[in-house]
Amino acid sequence: MPENTREITLEEAKKLYNSSEEAKVFLLSKFTKEELEGKNIPTQEEFNKFFEENIFPLIDYSKTKFLDCNNGHVSKTPTSRIELNNSDNKWLFDYNYEQKNSRFLYSYKRVYLIFMKQFSLHDVDRNRLMKSLVEKHFNLSDIQPLRNQ
């Protein structure tokens, strides 16, 4: 470190952050908004817990549907494509466990917006956390969950 420079820690920056508009602008050039405002990336356990306590309870299992794997229409017979809905019969998750056609979709309005309100996540973190959540709860490995309208 050259003679004319000094270190500022994140702790020090956080204390200074709301002291003035100038300080805020300056510190935002050194740290990210998430770091300064305390919006830390949740651990996998925290993310899973949020789902267990806030998203999964929205599922009404009596509205579970089996969908035709080819066209997405409701099937009269069991299939490997499952749709989990809320009590208003609006879909939350739509996934297919068949190896060849495995996929996992989650609703933009009814899942994504809820957890993104709680955790402001970058795409890379969201994808990583969702992938691991789906592995743990749905036992679906090697699938990148996608949000869908």
Partner 1 sequence: MTENTREITLDEAKKLYNSSEESKVFLLSKFTKEELEGKTVPTQEEFNKFFEENIFTLIDNSKTKFLDNNGNVSKTPTSRIELRNSDDKWFFDYNYEQKNQHFWYSYYRVYTIFMTKISLQDDDRHRLMKSMVEKHFNLHGVIPYMIN
Residues that bind partner 1 (CB under 8 A): 51-52, 56-57, 59, 61-66, 69, 76-80, 82, 84, 93, 96-99, 137-141
Query: Quick check: 126 and 83 in contact, CB under 8 A?
Result: no
Give, for 146, the enclosing helix (H) or strand (E): strand 146-148
* Nearest distance from C-beta of residue 123 to partner 1, angstroms: 24
Task: For partner 1, give the closer residue by CB, 12 or 46.
Answer: 46
CA atoms within 13 A on the CB side of 87: 3
* Spacing of C-alpha 69 from chain mean position: 25
To partner 1, the closest distance from the beta carbon of 135 in angstroms equals 10
Residues paired with residue 95 on neighbouring β-strands, in sequence order:
82, 104
What backbone torsions phi and psi does residue 122 show, to the nearest 5 degrees?
Answer: -75, 155
Q: Determine the 3-state secondary structure of 72 from DSSP.
A: coil
Output 57 or 116, the one with its CB closest to partner 1: 57
Please identify, using beta-carbon distances, which residue of 29 and 139 lies nearer to partner 1.
Answer: 139
Which CB sits closer to partner 1, 43 or 64?
64
Instruction: Write down the least CB distance from residue 15 to partner 1, Å.
Output: 40
As measured in angstroms, the least distance from the Cβ of 102 to partner 1 is 10
